[in-house]
Structures are given as C-alpha cells and as structure tokens.
Amino acid sequence: MDFNPCMKHRLVRGTVREFAEAEIAPLVYDLDREARFPWEVVEKMRPLNFFGLQIPRAYGGAGLDAVSYAVVIEELSRVSAALGLCVTVHNSVGAYPIVMFGTEAQKRRFLPALAGGERIGAFCLTEANAGSDAGGVETHAQRENGGYVINGTKIFVTNGGVCGTALIFAVTHPEDPRRRADVFIVEKGTPGFSVGEIEDLCGMRANPVSSLFFEDCSVPEMNRLGRSGDGIKIGLSALDTGRIGIAAQALGIAQAAFDASVRYAKERQQFGKPIAAFQTIQNYLADMATEIDAGRLLLYRACAQKDAGRPFGPEAAKAKLFCSRLAMRTADRAVQIHGGYGYSKEYDVERYFRDAKVTEIYEGTSEVQRMVISRSVLSQPV
C-alpha cells in the first residue's frame, strides 16, 4: 500500500490548481454575488478536457482514472465549489452513465459533444414527491410510435439552467417494482422540453439549478439508456460515481477553509500576539488537518476500488458521508476562527460555510449514505 501520490497525480493537481487560481479565483466573489454562471471560464476549460474527464479517449475524453478525477474536482472546488459542482455532475452523472450503459451508437452520438463541453450534462431524478425515495418518481414515459413520450417535472436539477443533454429518470413499468423505470437521454431543443427559473439558493450560487419540464416530450427508442427496465440499476450506478465527485468537492471546500484559517491565524493579532499562538486555535487547526487527511484517504480508497473494477458503493457512501460532514465542520470552525470577519461576505470563509451545507444533501443525503453503509455492514457475516 503506497500513500504517496504518483507523478501523474501530482501533475494533475498542479495543473488544475494553477488554472483555477489564475482563471477562476479572480471571478469567484462576483460570480457568487451575482449568481452568474461563468461561460467565459467554461470556454477556457473546454480545450483542456475538463468536461471529458471520465470519457474514454476514443470519444474525445481524457479517460482519467478515478483518483485523478477526484483530484481535479477537489482543486476546482477549493477555488469555486459551484464550478466544481458543474464539472463533477456533468462528468459523473451526466456523461458517465452513457459510457457505462450506452450502445456504441449512443456513445458516438452523445459523448463527443459532452467531452468537448459543447453540451453540459445533467441527471434528473428529484421531484416534488421523490428525492431520497426514488420509488416515488411520478415522471412517466409512455411507449408511442416506436419511441417514448415523457411527461413530468424534475426539480433542483444541478446544471439545469445550462444543460444541453439531460438524463431523465422516468417510470415505464409501474406494475413491476424491479423494472419500474428507465433512463432517457433528452437533448436541449427537443419539443416539449423546457427549463424553469433559476433557483435562488443559499450556496453554490454560480451553478444554475432549476426545474426541468417535460410536456409530451417525444424521444426515439435509441435515446433509452440500457435495456428496458434498467433505470434503477443505472441510477444507483450513477449515484455511486457521483458520490465520489461530491466527496471530492466537499474535500476541496474543507481544504480551502483550512488554508484560509491557517493564514488568518498567523496574521490576526489579539492580546499582543497572533491568535495562532493560542491553544484553542491550535486545537481547531490540528483537528481540521487530521480530519482532512482522513477524508482524503477515505475518498482515495473509494477511487482505488473503482479503478480496480471492484464494487465501490459502500466506500463511496462512506467518503461522501465523511467528507460532507468534514466540509461543514471545517467551514464552521473557519468562521469561528475569523470571528466577526468570518460572518462578512468580504471574507471567503462565509461562502465556504454556505457552500458546504448542500454537500450533506445532494447525491443522497447523509441519512441515505448511512442507509447504504448499514446495509453493507449488516450483509456481512459476523
């Protein structure tokens, strides 16, 4: 077992960090304040293959291993969690299910545009009455004229306001619990597919989260992903991969909050000396550093399982659960270390605090992660 990053991973981290600090960092404050999606940054990311991280090179992607992928998302999120969110959702649940379950024709049709960032990807599961309960999905797809007609509404869709290709989870076999749903690839411009208003959210404000509406939206049979009735299987696989990305995003937020806290503790003077000289602040920083290391190891273990071709669902759930809690705890401590300044929008830790919370909610709430983990634990012989 080797805990030292290889040359490739060090190179990936350095390259992404340099890009993020040069091209994203100067815009972050205004993007958050204005709730604006940075298309100008996206244009610079496209030729660097940020949108094809997990897409094979045969279809225009970078074909990165899972550890490299996690490093990219962590470094982007260390500077802008909202842009890190866009990239991880696009790659892990927008494009990767097509890589895993698509036919060759589907891969050649849809993946090159996703890899090049010409189309931003999204995965649409959540509805007004279905979030953690995927069985409560009411959007349905009716077979008609050799294809499907989709009707329903998806809410809180990450990348919803800018997506060009959306994977839609819809009921096709309501009478059969095991084959109840399918996943459909629906492209922007398809008649009957429309986008709602952008949500005014607490954090991740530079990511355009919206509702998507489907009213008699017709798609051909070739847009169904996998075999008929594979929706649950595809959805669970997408969420496992997505949880690695969200864990990496949460880790990036935690690392940013920690770095800001170390800098501030060395600079801020109280009682005639830097606050870093006080035991309480040292204890905060020691706990933050230790927990960040633990989260990174949990994340990399899940990535290693995925790269080895072994089941990684429970490992991804543990990484997502731990890293999302880590992001929230670290951001909270960072605000406390900064005192009144930490509550001001002039300091980045205020944004980290707002961005951190949602990592405990999307791609499966922390409560759902505990369900996944406990089922794995209870299925093992004692």
Distance CA(301)–CA(291), nearest Å, equals: 15
The torsion of the CA quartet 67, 71, 72, 77, rounded to 10 degrees, works out to: 140
175 is an active site residue: no
Going along the chain from its start, the domains and CATH numbers come out as 7-120 (1.10.540.10), 122-232 (2.40.110.10), 234-379 (1.20.140.10)
DSSP letter assigned to residue 130 = B
The pTM of this model reads 0.95
The tens digit of pLDDT for each residue in 354-363 reads 999 999 999 9
The tens digit of pLDDT for each residue in 265-306 reads 999 999 999 999 999 999 999 999 999 999 999 999 999 999
* Identity of the amino acid at 12: V
Range list of H helices, 268-312: 279-307
Question: What element of type H or E holds 183?
Answer: strand 181-187
Which one is catalytic: 74, 199, 360, 363? 363
User: Would you give per-residue pLDDT tens digits along the chain (382 residues)?
Assistant: 566 668 889 999 999 999 999 999 999 999 999 999 999 999 999 999 999 999 999 999 999 999 999 999 999 999 999 999 999 999 999 999 999 999 999 999 999 999 999 999 999 999 999 887 777 899 999 999 889 999 999 999 999 999 999 999 999 998 887 788 999 999 999 999 999 999 999 999 999 999 999 999 999 999 999 999 999 999 999 999 999 999 999 999 999 999 999 999 999 999 999 999 999 999 999 999 999 999 999 999 999 999 999 999 999 999 999 999 999 999 999 999 999 999 999 999 999 999 999 999 999 999 999 999 999 999 988 7
pLDDT of residue 1: 57
